[in-house]
């Protein structure tokens, strides 16, 4: 049973060295960047739809503006 206790103590010591605050901050940073990019894409898509609907902008690359 001493081998199992040694493994447990080793795992606890290893987990004690993890910088949890930095790990959480990194996860929050990536989540914030993903949210910002997603919201920016949605806003730009809506803007393009409004411009195409109300200002009759060209819908394809070959079309020209009147």
Quote the pLDDT of residue 1. 47
Domain annotation covers residue 2: no
pTM over 0.85: no
Q: What is the mean pLDDT of the chain?
A: 83
Count of domains forming the chain? 1
Domain annotation covers residue 52: yes
Q: How confident is the model at residue 43 (pLDDT cuts 50, 70, 90)?
A: very high
> What is the residue range of 36's domain?
20-60
- Sorted by sequence, the CB contacts under 8 Å of residue 51 that are 6+ apart come out as 57
∠ CA 47-51-57, rounded to 5°: 140
Whole-number Cα distances in Å, 9 to 12, 18, 45, 60: 5, 15, 54, 65
Domain annotation covers residue 26: yes
Domain annotation covers residue 38: yes
Domain annotation covers residue 33: yes
pLDDT digits (tens, 9 = 90+) for 44-62: 999 988 988 888 765 665 6
């Amino acid at each position: 049973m001493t081998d199992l206790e040694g493994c447990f103590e080793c795992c606890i010591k290893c987990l004690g060295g993890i910088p949890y605050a930095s790990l959480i901050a990194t996860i929050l940073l990536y989540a914030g960047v993903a949210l910002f990019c997603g919201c920016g894409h949605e806003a730009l898509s809506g803007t393009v739809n409004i411009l195409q609907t109300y200002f009759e902008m060209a819908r394809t690359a070959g079309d020209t503006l009147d």
